[in-house]
Structure 1
């Protein structure tokens, strides 16, 4: 059982390289997401790296869109799932958003819907497919 989960905002290239490697492992390798769909909007996103006992474990980001603030690319390495890494990332990202962030949304992979519901997100609309993976749009109430 891991002792310490830390999530931090990162911008240094060395940290971003770790973030992108984690996302590649989860989305491209494990979930067969097309790489060209995985790498977009990197330069306009705020990135986060999660560690468990100082070992890289997860990554995520947020970005401002024309609709509001979108939480994206939540990825936790398989060996660290079930230890609260995802919850720690969601909380850290929500805490990092600007105070005037009034419309906060995301596209949740179907199995992760319950995680986001714990933070006040509600499903909006029908299930859809994105990058070959089933999702629901969720909006924070």
Structure 2
């Protein structure tokens, strides 16, 4: 049986693994400019997903003036459909302080269904970010 873990990143090596996952998904696969992909890293709380100790996903959240923003959810193509995204969202939500601030994100259109499972709802119209259709979602 496969073992899926999502760990809060504590070392430089783990952070490099997370960046490698994000680079592969966002820059190589989706064509996001590298300078847009890497921003606000030092003020974010990062997570790395491992399936049988293989890095397979990465994500982060950060506190903004609007609440807590979930960002950069990436799962390597060969690991999609293995509940990695679900595990990452659950781990991040579990880590966010319970202080009644809004929790929100900008979801790529094809990932909206994932976030609705956790109580997020679409707010407003679809928009483009880095050339990819997105929706703003807020946790109700």
Equivalent in the alignment of 1:52? 51
Q: Cα 1:101–1:35, aligned 2, differ >3 Å: closer, same or farther? A: farther
RMSD: 0.8
1:73 matched to 2:57: no
5+ residue gaps, structure 1: none
Equivalent in the alignment of 1:89? 88
The answer to whether the 8 Å contact 1:10/1:49 transfers is: yes
The answer to whether the 8 Å contact 1:110/1:135 transfers is: yes
The answer to whether the 8 Å contact 1:69/1:101 transfers is: no
Q: TM-score, normalised by structure 2?
A: 0.98
In structure 2, how many angstroms separate the alpha carbons of the residues matched to 1:112 and 1:88?
14
Q: TM-score, normalised by structure 1?
A: 0.97
In structure 2, how many angstroms separate the alpha carbons of the residues matched to 1:85 and 1:135?
20
In structure 1, how many angstroms separate the alpha carbons of the residues matched to 2:113 and 2:15?
28
In structure 1, how many angstroms separate the alpha carbons of the residues matched to 2:64 and 2:58?
20
In structure 2, how many angstroms separate the alpha carbons of the residues matched to 1:51 and 1:101?
30
- 1:72 alignment partner, SS class: strand
In structure 2, how many angstroms separate the alpha carbons of the residues matched to 1:54 and 1:101?
34
Shift of 1:19: 0.4
Q: Cα 1:101–1:7, aligned 2, differ >3 Å: closer, same or farther? A: farther
Runs of 4+ aligned structure 1 residues displaced above 2 Å come to none
Deviations 1:120-141 (A, max 9, x none): 0000000000011100000000
Q: How many residues align?
A: 140
Shift of 1:11: 2.7
Equivalent in the alignment of 2:136? 137
1:64 matched to 2:63: yes
Shift of 1:101: 4.3
